[in-house]
Amino acid sequence: MNDSLLEVNSLTLDYHLAGRKMRALDKVSFSLKKGQVMGVAGESGCGKSTMGLSIIGLLPQIAKIPRGEIVFQGEDLLRKSQRQMDKDIRGQKISMIFQNPQNALNHVFKIGTQMTDFLRFQQINQKLKKRSNKKQLYEMAVRQLEDTGISDSSERIHNYPFEFSGGMKQRVMISMALSSQTSLLIADEPTTALDMTIEAQILDLLMKLRSKYDTSILYISHNLGVL
Ligand SMILES: Nc1ncnc2c1ncn2[C@@H]1O[C@H](COP(=O)(O)OP(=O)(O)OP(=O)(O)O)[C@@H](O)[C@H]1O
Ligand SMILES: [Mg+2]
């Protein structure tokens, strides 16, 4: 089992709402190998996003996990503190494309600022000897936006998130997740807000990412055809 990247065992989760418990996950178990893509389907409200958020450790306070484990690269993530998750895991080993991109971008900074900050942070993290300068980071960000199908990216990069449509914000999140070269990418309905040609492009990008970096992908979708 040493090629297994992620092992979820009997994961059980309750949302505690005003004295009431609502079970959202009930003994979920599966494993994912390095470079493997797993599709997750299920009706609305069955707990798909909750499962993704559990793995990346971004659950709201009212979510409690009475039992189960999430073993990633041999370590149970449920035993890690939020600080350890921030420092070692999130954005570095596990990234997530969120179903609702509205919440993931900061309203007060331009798209380009957020993308280049993220790229700079990655280069620092990867301990690159030769880091890119500001102009190069902008060029990289423009190319990333282009790759996800945003036209006039060299101008649009100077926009604020509120000037982007939902689908465009989704693409910004996708391009950032794609550049992060993490071992595991959780894609939560990444293409629902996009039209079909863009969807095909995004799937293509995800598969390239997988073959280039051996990234494992947990792909959540309503669309069985896509899965
Ligand atoms: N923050 C929260 N507080 C309380 N209940 C929540 C919260 N998030 C999700 N739930 C509940 O947990 C259950 C699973 O929700 P979840 O968002 O994981 O479903 P999903 O499978 O991703 O649905 P969809 O396909 O609509 O995105 C639902 O009953 C939902 O109401
Ligand atoms: Mg969901």
Compute, in angstroms, the gap from residue 49 CA to the centroid of ligand 2.
Answer: 4
Same domain, 109 and 211: yes
Is 90 among the domain residues?
no
Looking at residue 96, its amino acid is M
Condensed to tens digits (0 to 9), the pLDDT of residues 124-151 reads 877 778 889 999 999 999 998 988 888 9
- 179 pLDDT band, cuts 50/70/90, is confident
Ligand 1: atom nearest CA of 189 is 27
Contact between residue 20 and residue 37 where contact means Cβ atoms under 8 Å apart: no
Condensed to tens digits (0 to 9), the pLDDT of residues 76-101 reads 999 999 999 988 898 889 999 888 77
Task: Give the model's pLDDT for residue 2.
Answer: 60
102, HSE (Cβ side, Cα atoms, 13 Å) = 5
Read off the tokens for 43. 């009706």
Contact between residue 147 and residue 176 where contact means Cβ atoms under 8 Å apart: no
Ligand 1: atom nearest CA of 222 is 25
Domain of 198?
Answer: 101-220
Same domain, 75 and 168: no
Q: Report how far residue 170's alpha carbon sits from residue 190's, in angstroms, rounded to the nearest whole number.
A: 7
DSSP state of 35: T
Protein residue with its CA nearest to atom 4 in ligand 1: 15
Q: Report how far residue 63's alpha carbon sits from residue 16's, in angstroms, rounded to the nearest whole number.
A: 6
Residue 1 confidence (pLDDT) above 70: no
The CATH number linked to 140 is 3.40.50.300
Same domain, 42 and 124: no
Domain tally, the chain: 2
Ligand 1 mutation target, pool 22, 40, 64, most atoms within 8 A of CB: 22
Tell me the residues surrounding ligand 2 (ion) with CB < 5 Å.
Answer: 48-49, 99
Protein residue with its CA nearest to atom 14 in ligand 1: 47
Q: Which of 36, 51, 81 is the last residue of a domain?
A: 81
Please choose, from the candidates 25, 210, 166, 174, the residue with its C-alpha nearest in 3D space to the C-alpha of residue 98: 174
- Give the ligand whose atoms come closest to the C-alpha of residue 51: 1
Task: Give the model's pLDDT for residue 11.
Answer: 98
Same domain, 116 and 30: no
> In DSSP terms, which residues pair with 203 in a beta bridge?
none
Which residues, including other chains, have CB under 8 Å from residue 140's CB and lie 6 or more apart?
Answer: 116, 119, 132, 179
Determine the Cα angle at 32 with ends 59 and 178, to 5°.
Answer: 70
Contact between residue 52 and residue 221 where contact means Cβ atoms under 8 Å apart: no
Residue 3 confidence (pLDDT) above 90: no
Ligand 1 mutation target, pool 46, 65, 98, most atoms within 8 A of CB: 46
- Tell me the average pLDDT of the chain: 90
Q: Which of 81, 114, 137 is the last residue of a domain?
A: 81
Read off the tokens for 1. 């089992």
Same domain, 66 and 169: no
| Range 166-179 average pLDDT | 84
144-165: buried (b, 16+ CB within 10 Å) or exposed (e) per residue? bbebbbbeebeebbeeebeebe
Protein residue with its CA nearest to atom 24 in ligand 1: 44
Is 127 among the domain residues?
yes
- Give the ligand whose atoms come closest to the C-alpha of residue 41: 1
- Give the ligand whose atoms come closest to the C-alpha of residue 187: 2
